Amino acid sequence: MVEKQLSDMKTGEKTNTDRGPVLLTTLLPGERAKIVALGAGSGRQRHFRTMGLKEGKIVEIRATQPARGPLVIDVEGTLIAIGRGMARQILIQKI
Amino acid sequence: MKKITLMGCPNVGKSVVFSRLTGVNVISSNYPGTTVDFIKGTTFIGGEKFELIDVPGTYSLEPTSKAEAVAQTMLHEGDIVITVVDATHLERNLYLTLEILETKKPAVIALNLWDETRHLGIEIDVAKLERVLGVPIVPTCAICGTGIKELASAVGDAHPSKTLKQMSEEERWLKVGEIIQDVQVVHHRHHTMWERLADTTVRPTTGIPLAILVILLMFLFIIEVGNVLIYYLMDPLFYAYYGPLIVGAVNSFVSSGLLHDLLVGTSTIESLDFEQSLGLLTTGLYVPFGVVLPFVITFYFMLSILEDTGYLPRLAVLVDTGLHKLGLHGSAIVPTILGCGCNVPGALATRILETEKQRFIAMTLMAIAIPCMAQSAMIFAILGRYGMKWILIVYSTLLVLYISLGLLLKRIVKGESPELLLEVPPYRKPDPRTLLKKTWSKAYGFLAEAVPFVILGIFIVNLLSVSGMIDILSRIFSPILTTVLGLPEGAIVALILGILRKDIAIGMLLPLGMTPQQLTISCIILTTYFPCIAAFVVLFRELGSLAMLKAVGLMAVVSLSVGIIMRVIVIGI
Ligand SMILES: Nc1nc2c(ncn2[C@@H]2O[C@H](COP(=O)(O)OP(=O)(O)OP(=O)(O)O)[C@@H](O)[C@H]2O)c(=O)[nH]1
Ligand SMILES: [Mg+2]
| CB of B35 sitting under 6 A from ligand 1 | yes
Give contacts of A81 with chain B, Cβ < 8 Å: 202, 313, 316-317, 320, 330, 420-424
pLDDT at B167 over 90: yes
Q: Is A51 within 8 Å of chain B by CB?
A: yes
Radius of gyration of chain A from Cα atoms?
12
- Nearest CB to B420 within list A54, A64, A83: A83
Residue A76 has a pLDDT of 85
Q: Give all strands (DSSP E) within B178-240, no chain letters.
A: 184-186
- What total of structural domains would you count in chain A? 1
Kindly report, residue by residue over A70-82, the tens digit of the pLDDT.
Answer: 999 999 888 999 9
Q: Which helix (H) or strand (E) holds A62?
A: strand A58-64
Contact B508, B494 (CB under 8 A): yes
How many CB atoms are closer than 10 A to CB A4? 9
Q: Which of B276, B315, B287 shows the shortest CA–CA distance to B454?
A: B287
- Nearest CB to A86 within list B96, B120, B419: B419
Give contacts of B426 with chain A, Cβ < 8 Å: 79
Kindly report, residue by residue over B339-360, the tens digit of the pLDDT.
Answer: 999 999 999 999 999 999 999 9
State the Cα angle at B73 between B72 and B75, rounded to 5°: 70
Number of the ligand 1 atom closest to the C-alpha atom of B84: 19
Q: Closest residue of A to B65, CA-based? A: A47
d(CA B18, CA B31): 17
pLDDT at B302 over 50: yes
Residue A1 has a pLDDT of 45
Rounded to the nearest angstrom, the distance between the alpha carbon of B306 and the centre of ligand 2 is 16
Contact between chains at B321 and A62 (C-beta distance less than 8 A): no
Rounded to the nearest angstrom, the distance between the alpha carbon of A37 and the centre of ligand 2 is 32
Rounded to the nearest angstrom, the distance between the alpha carbon of B537 and the centre of ligand 1 is 30
Percent of chain B having pLDDT more than 90?
89
Contacts of B471 (CB under 8 A, 6+ apart): none
Percent of chain B having pLDDT more than 70?
100
Residue A93 has a pLDDT of 94
pTM: 0.93
Q: What would the mean pLDDT of B146-170 be, rounded to a whole number?
A: 94
What is the distance in angstroms between the Cα of A13 and the nearest Cα belonging to chain B?
25
d(CA B33, CA B354): 12
CATH 3.40.50.300 holds for B2-186: yes
Phi, psi of B468 (to 5 degrees): 80, 5
| CB of B353 sitting under 6 A from ligand 1 | no
Query: Which residue stretches of B266-332 are H helix?
Result: 283-285, 293-309, 311-324
- CATH number for the domain spanning A76: value is 2.30.30.90
Number of the ligand 1 atom closest to the C-alpha atom of B34: 24
Q: Is A86 within 8 Å of chain B by CB?
A: yes
State the Cα angle at B344 between B341 and B350, rounded to 5°: 95
| CB of B116 sitting under 6 A from ligand 1 | yes
Residue B268 has a pLDDT of 85
Residue B245 has a pLDDT of 93
A42, B27, B95, B345, B367 from B537: Cα distances, Å: 37, 22, 37, 12, 12
Domain definitions of chain B by residue range: 2-186, 205-570
Rounded to the nearest angstrom, the distance between the alpha carbon of B314 and the centre of ligand 1 is 17
| CB of B317 sitting under 6 A from ligand 1 | no
Give contacts of A38 with chain B, Cβ < 8 Å: none
Kindly report, residue by residue over B236-295, the tens digit of the pLDDT.
Answer: 999 999 999 999 999 998 888 889 999 998 888 888 889 888 899 999 999 999 999 999
For A50, the domain range is: 2-94
Look up residue B537 and give its amino acid: V
State the Cα angle at A44 between B415 and A20, rounded to 5°: 125
Contact between chains at B92 and A86 (C-beta distance less than 8 A): no
Q: Which of B161, B120, B159, B117 shows the shortest CA–CA distance to B139?
A: B117
d(CA B393, CA A51): 43
Ligand number with the minimum distance to the CA of B307: 1
Q: Which of B131, B126, B56 shows the shortest CA–CA distance to B96?
A: B56
Contacts of B29 (CB under 8 A, 6+ apart): B304, B307, B308, B312
Kindly report, residue by residue over B208-246, the tens digit of the pLDDT.
Answer: 999 999 999 999 999 999 999 999 999 999 999 999 999
The gap from C-alpha B204 to its chain's centroid, in whole angstroms, comes to 27
Here the ipTM equals 0.89
Model confidence band, residue A16 (pLDDT cutoffs 50, 70, 90): very low
Q: Is A41 within 8 Å of chain B by CB?
A: no
Q: Are strands B107-112 and B80-86 parallel, antiparallel or unpaired?
A: parallel
Model confidence band, residue A15 (pLDDT cutoffs 50, 70, 90): very low
Rounded (10°) CA dihedral B461, B463, B467, B473: -40
Beta bridge pairs of residue B121: none
| CB of B112 sitting under 6 A from ligand 1 | yes
d(CA A24, CA A1): 18
Contact between chains at A46 and B330 (C-beta distance less than 8 A): no
d(CA B388, CA B385): 8
Number of the ligand 1 atom closest to the C-alpha atom of B28: 16
Contact between chains at B321 and A66 (C-beta distance less than 8 A): yes
d(CA B421, CA B480): 47
Ligand number with the minimum distance to the CA of B56: 1
- Nearest CB to A70 within list B120, B173, B317: B317
Environment of ion ligand 2 (residues, CB < 5 A): B 14-15, 34-35
Model confidence band, residue B195 (pLDDT cutoffs 50, 70, 90): confident
Residues making up chain B, counted from first to last: 573
| CB of B113 sitting under 6 A from ligand 1 | yes
> What's the burial of B260, exposed, middle or buried (CB within 10 Å: 0-12/13-18/19+)?
middle
Ligand number with the minimum distance to the CA of B148: 1
